[in-house]
Amino acid sequence: MSHHKDSHGSHEPHVLPLSIYFGVFFALMILTYITVKVSQLGLGALAIPIAMTVALIKAGFVVGYFMHLRYDDRFLSLFFASSIVFLGVFFAFTVYDLGARDTWVPEEHTQVNLIDGKPFCDPEILKNNDRRKKVCDEAKKRGDHGHGHGAHGNVVKAAAHPTPAKRGVAKVAQPAARPATPAPVARPTTPAPAPVARPTTPAPAPAARPTAPAARPTAPAPAPAARPAAQFDAASLAAGKKLYQANACWTCHGNEGKGDGAAAAALPVKPANFALGNYKYGGSLGDIYKVLSNGSPNKASGMVAYAHIPDNDRWSIAKYLLSLKK
């Protein structure tokens, strides 16, 4: 602060003209409009850089003018800048680390299972949990009626996402049908336009809450053994088992993956016991996939690369091997 009137007195505030505030406001509005419009163009890989550039410009306006940093003591800018620098360091190192890892499991082969390795609405769990069954049934019903946009969504697993049949009123009920349909702006107060909205709306929330504590007691018990078979879908496991047999893995690794196949006796290095899960080269899905694709790092071991097996099948085998762990 450069201007002291007297030692105790007030300092004169630095008052910006109104035109600056309103100018910044309109700039922010226009930039918001631009980001929304640009995002609807479907620019693919360019979308993120453009959206982030616009966001940075907006941020610059807010920080520089609304927050006065342009006119304030330079020392404050230094503080602000230092936080941005550390943010950059944090991002840069973490992103570098992310990119440097070579055994990421593609998302198609990942299942984020949440309770004892099973999804919330797993049929087996629902069998003895009526409350959760109710929530899941209602969620399913709503999904079937609404969200007719399997059509434009990016379908990752087509099988897991059957396009819901259009059932007359379906479109009206669903406010989330996005880009193509701006006409019936059925959105405003979301739940309202749903056909049976009123009575059912608040229902799922309270119904869901109680399942929380209910789920707890069962969770801790089997937690330590959480990894096994349940993590992967039955289809992959069945396919993996078949491939394990068809590719004669068992001749060395044994029928149950215990490393006791007939050919193992003659091997210089004994294969690990998959049933115990003591993998030498790492026991994650990605690690196993890597050995399978590249062969063992120990080239003399007899474990050659199986890169000729299609990618998807290699993942299935890896899942099957993990499921062998007792």
Partner 1 sequence: MSQVADHAHTEHPPHLHHHFHSSAQQAASAKLGMWVFIAQEILFFSGLFMAYIALRYLYPKTFLAAHEHLDVSMGALNTVFLITSSLTMALAVRAAQTSNKKWAEINLLLTIGFALAFCVVKYFEYSHKFHLGIFPGKYYAYTHIPGNPEVFFGLYFVMTGMHALHVVVGIGLLLWIYLKTRTGAFSAAYYSPVENVGLYWHLVDLIWIFLFPLLYLVK
Q: What is the DSSP letter of 161?
A: S
Name the packing angle between helices 285-294 and 311-323 (round to 10°).
130
**Sole residue written with tokens 């899960």:** 277
From the list ligand HEC, partner 1, none, partner contacted by residue 51 (C-beta under 5 to 8 A by kind): partner 1
**Of 181-189, 244-252, 254-262, 287-295, which part binds partner 1 (CB under 8 A)?**
181-189
What is the footprint of ligand HEC within residues 270-289 (CB under 6 A)? 271-272, 279-281, 288
What is the footprint of partner 1 within residues 28-47 (CB under 8 A)? 28-29, 32, 35-36, 39, 42, 47
168 backbone φψ class: left, alpha, beta (φ>0; ψ -120 to 50):
left
**β-sheet bridge partners, residue 4:** 11
From the list ligand HEC, partner 1, none, partner contacted by residue 91 (C-beta under 5 to 8 A by kind): partner 1
From the list ligand HEC, partner 1, none, partner contacted by residue 275 (C-beta under 5 to 8 A by kind): none
Nearer to ligand HEC, 113 or 247 (CB): 247
**β-sheet bridge partners, residue 118:** 115
Retrieve residue 304's tokens: 């050659």
* Options 103, 131, 139, 242; binder of partner 1; rule CB under 8 A: 139
C-alpha distances in Å from residue 7, one per residue of 4, 11, 12, 14? 7, 10, 13, 18
Nearer to partner 1, 119 or 228 (CB): 119
Taking a C-beta distance cutoff of 8 angstroms, is the pair 207, 131 a contact?
yes
From the list ligand HEC, partner 1, none, partner contacted by residue 74 (C-beta under 5 to 8 A by kind): none
Residue 232, SS3? coil
As measured in angstroms, the least distance from the Cβ of 242 to partner 1 is 25
Mark 267-296 with x for binding to partner 1 (rule: CB under 8 A) and - for no binding.
Answer: ------------------------------
Neighbours of 324 (CB within 10 A): 23
Beta strand residue intervals within the chain, DSSP E: none
Q: What is the dihedral of CA 24, 30, 31, 34, to 10 degrees?
A: 180
What is the footprint of partner 1 within residues 206-225 (CB under 8 A)? 208, 211-212, 215
Nearer to partner 1, 216 or 308 (CB): 216
Neighbours of 283 (CB within 10 A): 16
* Options 117, 129, 135, 317; binder of partner 1; rule CB under 8 A: 135
Rule CB under 6 A: is residue 292 a binding residue for ligand HEC? yes
| Pairwise CA distance, residues 314 & 306, whole Å | 8
Site for ligand HEC, rule CB under 6 A: 244, 247-249, 251-253, 263, 267, 269, 271-272, 279-281, 288, 291-292, 296, 298, 301-303, 306, 317, 321
